[in-house]
Amino acid sequence: MTTLRRAVIAIACAAVACSRSAPSPAVRADNTGAAIAPADTPPQRTPAAPMSYLGADWLDRADREATEQPERVLDALHLRPGDRVADVGAGTGYFALRIARRVGPSGHVFATDIQPEMLSILRERAAAAHATQIETVLATEDDARLAPQSIDLALMVDVYHELAHPIETLAQIQRALRDGGRIVLVEYRGEDPAVPIKPEHKMTLEQIRAEVEAPYRGGAALFRFETSHEFLPTQRVVVFRRAP
């Protein structure tokens, strides 16, 4: 076989290989059993690894009240007695216990986490506080485990940037929200180099809005931006409303 003929054959084989379509990503099912299509606009970032339960003490560090101002954050959300709230990625219950006091015995708090060890700590604390309105929910990376039309507000504090499948999780939370419900993300300010957090644990407001307001499955956006509270020293509180 001549050198020229070998070259022609090699080029032809390469053209055939390039013309083959790539395999489709795996399709998962959500908590309703519906198939989840691949996200239309996957985030152009690498999600941070979730913090292990072995570092749970950090969630209750001495300076957290001063730096994250949980009561002021909840004041800004105007929770009412009887509200049903999901604390997504609740950890040891730092926010869930405070939310329970605000929604009262007629309200309900779904405290979700993907680590059963975190939920074990949370249950002990809820029992000690007689917060019977807190229900712990063991979620997975693929499934938020929230029933449709079951909540008025979903809160994620330093959690969204860790979601393995953020667009799919947003869709599941959107289905769990009642009409007019809100999703609230508390994230470290990614554009501020003075914030002493690794880059993968920070997000700019532009990044957050681009992902949360992105069209879903070629259709309309699931949420619309409402406001961003900028009163915290190193974080922002970003509020979105469920799209009608």
How does pLDDT run across 103-153, given as a tens digit for each residue? Answer: 999 999 999 999 999 999 999 999 999 999 999 999 999 999 999 999 999
Whole-angstrom distance, CA of residue 153 vs CA of residue 132: 19
Per-residue pLDDT reduced to its tens digit, 14-69: 333 333 333 333 334 444 444 343 444 445 788 998 888 888 888 989 899 999 99
Torsion, Cα 100 151 158 207, to 10 degrees, reads -150
Identify the three-state secondary structure at position 33.
coil
What confidence score (pLDDT) does residue 151 get? 98
Tell me if the pTM is above 0.75: yes
- DSSP single-letter state for residue 215: B
Question: Across the chain, what does the average pLDDT equal?
Answer: 86
- Tokens linked to 53: 């339960």
Least confident of 22-31, 129-138, 193-202, 210-219: 22-31
Contact between 141 and 168 (Cβ < 8 Å): no
Query: What H or E segment, with its residue span, contains residue 92?
Result: none
How much is the CA Rg of the chain, to the nearest whole Å? 22
Q: Which residues pair with 36 in a beta bridge?
A: 28
d(CA 9, CA 5): 6
pLDDT category at 12 given cuts 50, 70, 90 is very low
What does the DSSP 8-state code read for residue 4?
Answer: H
Under DSSP, is residue 56 helix (H, G, I), strand (E, B) or coil?
helix
CA-to-CA distance for 146 and 177, rounded, in angstroms? 9
Tell me the mean pLDDT in the region 77-103.
98
Pick from 5-9, 154-158, 197-201: least confident = 5-9
Name beta bridge partners: 28. 36
Question: In this predicted structure, what is the pLDDT of residue 51?
Answer: 84
What is the phi-psi region of residue 27: left when phi exceeds 0, alpha when psi lies from -120 to 50, beta otherwise?
A: beta
Q: What is the pLDDT of residue 23?
A: 33
**Residue 209: both structure tokens together:** 């809005």
Helix/strand/coil for 126: helix
Give CATH for domain 65-242: 3.40.50.150
Domain boundaries, the chain: 65-242
Consecutive H or E run containing 17: helix 3-19
CA neighbor of 9 nearest in space, from 67, 84, 1: 1
